[in-house]
């Protein structure tokens, strides 16, 4: 307790280290859980964002729902609300509209964000409210001990699907694209350097930022992403998207993606007359290209990682506050007595 109290004393200089974002609460995740890596990445990213954007610690707010991932706010020394199942985007929307000066983050999971809270996620995305949504996707329900989730794959054996999952999974990135989300990225928990970079970019974005983070559940769905995310295979099976750069991958960057008849195709440089200048250059603002790339998944294609889409669009709260200012100009600052007196009549003393 003593330690907690001391930590809460205000720090004036904005020169935080990741440790400054440690609340002192000991995380209760299973040993080896991917959430630890994400926690470290977020602490590092926040320290960096503070410096770059001048955001003091007290202006960070983290809102979560329910599930393993949603314990996250307790471990961050910021303002935080551990909400109810699926509703974090709604709570975060309230925080942001009430005080647009805050940097508002949502931590959710594949069950919390895509099943019970799917509706709020969709509407936050289409509004482009300036909140950053980190979706920890482990393709399983962890806290309820191992049922299949909306991103579980066909045939996946879980406690609630002993004969295999017979539902097709949600593709969170495609969902985000369909809602016009202005920042969409995908990251892998164990690639902590890249993950940190992406979180920083999300933090700098004005508008809804959505990051799908492949996160390993060591207990109920271990190695779910190892086929492409494993360190030894990653360079061959993952493609790093870089705005303005050709879509190259492979240990020696000797493979690439070209778009042929509107579809992605894996090619090898040097084969069939393919040279590097034939490789499609990635443009994070080109919706059609974003869409085509988002259709790619391992094993048919390398799994795309990085910033899939980033565009500048006015945010919801900007439009809202502009409308308020506009209404004030149009009608004059509201006068309650005048409004109430409208259509009134007077009874004079007789």
Partner 1 sequence: MEESELGRKRKLEKVTVKFAGDSGDGIQLIGSQFTVSTAIYGNDFAIFPEFPAEIRAPAGTTYGVSAFQIQFGAIDIMTPGDEPDALVAFNPAALKVNLNLIKPGALVILNIDEFDEINFKKAEWNSIIKGEENLDEILSKYEVIKVQMNKLVIDALKDVNLPHKEKLRSRNFFALGLVCWIFMRPLEPILKFIKENFGKKPEIAKANELALKAGYNYGETLEIKHKFVKIEIPKYKFEPGKYRYVSGNEAFALGILAIKEKAKIPVVFASYPITPASDILHYLESYRNFGIIALQMEDEISAVNTAIGASFAGALGITATSGPGLSLKSEGINLAVMTELPLIVIDNQRSGPSTGMPTKTEQTDLLFALFGRHGESPLIVIAPISAGDCFYSIIEAAKLSIKYMTPVIILSELYIAMGSEPWKIPDINKIPDIEVKFWKDGSKFYPYSRDENTLARPWAKPGTPGLEHRIGGLEKSHIYGRVSYDPQNHDFMVKLRAEKIRRVQTDIPDVEVYGEEDAELLVLGWGSTFGHIRAVVERAREKGWPVAHAHLKYINPLPKNLPDILKKFKRVLIPELNLGQLLLLIRGKFLVDAVGFNKVTGTPFKESELMMAVEKELMNMEKEGKLSKPIHIQEGRFEEKEKGGAVKHATA
* Interacting residue ranges for partner 1, rule: CB under 8 A: 1, 4, 8-12, 23, 25, 56-59, 61, 63-64, 66, 73-74, 76-84, 87, 90-99, 101-102, 119-120, 122-123, 320, 323-324, 326-328, 330-334, 336-337, 339-350
Q: Strand runs (DSSP E) across 261-314, as ranges? A: 263-268, 303-310
Write out the two tokens for 284: 């994070």
Q: How far is the CB of 142 from partner 1 (least distance, A)?
A: 17
In angstroms, the CA 32 to CA 17 distance is 24
**Cβ nearer to partner 1, comparing 275 with 343:** 343
Query: What is the torsion angle, in degrees rounded to the nearest 10, for the CA atoms of residue 322, residue 316, residue 46 and residue 291?
Result: -140
Spatial distance between the Cα atoms of 297 and 98, rounded to a whole number of angstroms: 39
What is the nearest approach in angstroms of partner 1 to the Cβ of residue 144?
16
Which one, 57 or 139, has the nearer CB to partner 1? Answer: 57
- Regarding beta strands 248-249 and 238-241, do their DSSP bridges make them parallel or antiparallel, or are they unpaired? unpaired
Shortest Å distance, C-beta 338 to partner 1: 10
| Whole-angstrom distance, CA of residue 217 vs CA of residue 225 | 10
DSSP 141: B
Both tokens of residue 339?
């409004």
Pinpoint the alpha helices (H) of 153-264.
172-178, 192-204, 226-229, 234-237
User: CA 154, CA 163: separation in Å to the nearest integer?
Assistant: 11
What is the b/e burial string over 87-107, where b = at least 16 CB atoms within 10 angstroms of the residue's CB? Answer: bbbbbbbebbeeebebbbbbb
Q: What is the DSSP letter of 221?
A: B
Handedness of CA 138, 141, 146, 151 (dihedral sign): negative
Minimum CB distance to partner 1, residue 59 (Å) = 6
Of the chain, the end-to-end C-alpha distance in Å amounts to 70
Least Å from the CB of residue 96 to partner 1: 8
Minimum distance, C-beta of residue 55 to partner 1, in the bound complex (Å)? 11
Q: What is the largest CA-CA distance in the chain?
A: 102
Are 317 and 129 in contact, with CB atoms under 8 Å apart? yes
Rounded Cα distance between 219 and 180, Å, is: 35
What's the rounded Cα separation, in Å, for the pair 302 and 312? 28
Q: How far is the CB of 234 from partner 1 (least distance, A)?
A: 35
260-265: Cβ within 8 A, 24+ apart: 262/292, 263/292, 264/292, 264/293, 264/295, 264/296, 264/301
């Amino acid at each position: 307790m003593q330690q907690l109290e001391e930590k809460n004393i205000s720090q004036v200089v904005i020169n935080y280290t990741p440790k400054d974002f440690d609340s002192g609460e000991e995380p209760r995740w299973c040993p080896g859980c991917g959430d630890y890596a994400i926690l470290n990445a977020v602490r590092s990213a926040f320290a960096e964002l503070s410096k770059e954007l001048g955001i003091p610690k007290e202006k960070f707010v983290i809102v979560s729902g329910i599930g393993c991932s949603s314990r996250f706010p307790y471990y961050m020394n910021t303002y935080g609300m551990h909400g109810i199942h699926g509703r974090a985007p709604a709570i975060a929307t309230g925080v942001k509209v009430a005080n647009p000066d805050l940097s508002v983050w949502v931590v959710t999971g594949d069950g919390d964000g895509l099943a019970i809270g799917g509706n709020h996620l969709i509407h936050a995305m289409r509004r482009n409210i300036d909140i950053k949504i980190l979706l920890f996707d482990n393709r399983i329900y962890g806290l309820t001990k191992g049922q299949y989730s909306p991103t579980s794959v066909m045939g996946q054996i879980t406690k609630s699907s002993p004969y295999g999952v017979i539902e097709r999974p949600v593709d969170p990135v495609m969902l985000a694209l369909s809602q016009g989300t202005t920042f969409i990225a995908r990251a892998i928990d164990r690639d902590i350097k890249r993950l940190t970079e992406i979180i920083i970019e999300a933090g700098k974005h004005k508008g809804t930022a959505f990051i799908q983070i492949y996160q390993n559940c060591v207990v109920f769905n271990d190695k779910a992403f190892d086929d492409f995310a494993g360190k030894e295979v990653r360079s061959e099976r993952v493609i790093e998207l870089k705005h303005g750069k050709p879509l190259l991958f492979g240990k020696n960057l000797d493979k690439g993606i070209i778009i042929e008849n509107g579809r992605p195709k894996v090619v090898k440089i040097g084969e069939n007359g393919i040279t590097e200048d034939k490789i499609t250059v990635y443009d994070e603002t080109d919706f059609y290209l974003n869409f085509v790339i988002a259709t790619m998944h391992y094993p048919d294609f390398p799994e795309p990682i990085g910033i899939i889409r980033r565009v500048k669009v006015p945010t919801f709260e900007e439009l809202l506050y502009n409308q308020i200012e506009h209404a004030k100009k149009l009608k004059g600052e509201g006068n309650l007595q005048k409004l109430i007196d409208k259509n009134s009549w007077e009874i004079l003393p007789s």
